[in-house]
C-alpha cells in the first residue's frame, strides 16, 4: 500500500465523521482516557502491527504531536493505505475540534 501526505486536522475530522477512515490513536492509555477523537480506535504505538489493524478502509494515525503517529503510519505503510494527522491532537485542539473522554464527556489533551 502506501503512506500519503499528512492530513489537516479538519479534513481528518470530516473523514472520521463520515466513517470513511479508521482513525488510530496511538497514545498511551492514560492519554487516551483524558480525551480522544470520538470514533477513533485506541492502539498504543508499541502494539501497532499490520496484523493488529484491520485493512477494511484507509487508516489515519494520530497522537499528541504527530511524531508517534508518524512512526505508526510508517509501520503500516506496506500493508495499509495510511496517513497521519498533521500536528497531531495539539493541532486538532487548536482548530477547536472536539475530544471526548472515556465516559463520552468533553475531553482534554491532559
**pLDDT (tens digit per residue) in 40-88:** 999 999 999 999 999 999 999 999 999 999 999 999 999 999 999 999 9
Given this model, what pLDDT does residue 15 score?
Answer: 98
Check 63, 72, 76, 82 and give the catalytic one: 63
Cell of 83: 496517513
Topology of the domain covering 2-94: Oxidized Rhodanese; domain 1 (3.40.250)
Given this model, what pLDDT does residue 1 score?
Answer: 66
DSSP string, 46-96: GG--GGGS--SS-EEEE-SSSHHHHHHHHHHTTTSEEEEBTTHHHHHHHTT
When comparing pLDDT for 90 and 2, which is higher? 90
Given this model, what pLDDT does residue 5 score?
Answer: 85
Given this model, what pLDDT does residue 19 score?
Answer: 96
63 is an active site residue: yes
Q: State pTM to two decimals.
A: 0.94
Question: DSSP character for 106?
Answer: B
Amino acid at each position: 500500500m502506501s503512506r500519503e501526505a499528512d492530513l489537516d486536522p479538519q479534513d481528518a475530522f470530516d473523514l472520521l465523521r463520515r466513517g470513511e477512515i479508521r482513525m488510530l490513536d496511538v497514545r498511551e492509555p492514560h492519554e487516551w482516557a483524558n480525551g480522544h477523537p470520538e470514533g477513533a480506535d485506541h492502539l498504543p504505538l508499541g502494539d501497532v502491527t499490520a496484523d493488529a489493524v484491520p485493512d477494511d478502509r484507509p487508516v489515519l494515525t494520530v497522537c499528541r504531536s504527530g511524531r508517534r503517529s508518524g512512526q505508526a503510519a510508517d509501520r503500516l505503510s506496506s500493508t495499509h493505505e495510511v496517513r497521519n494527522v498533521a500536528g497531531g491532537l495539539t493541532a486538532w485542539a487548536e482548530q477547536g475540534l472536539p475530544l471526548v473522554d472515556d465516559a463520552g464527556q468533553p475531553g482534554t489533551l491532559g
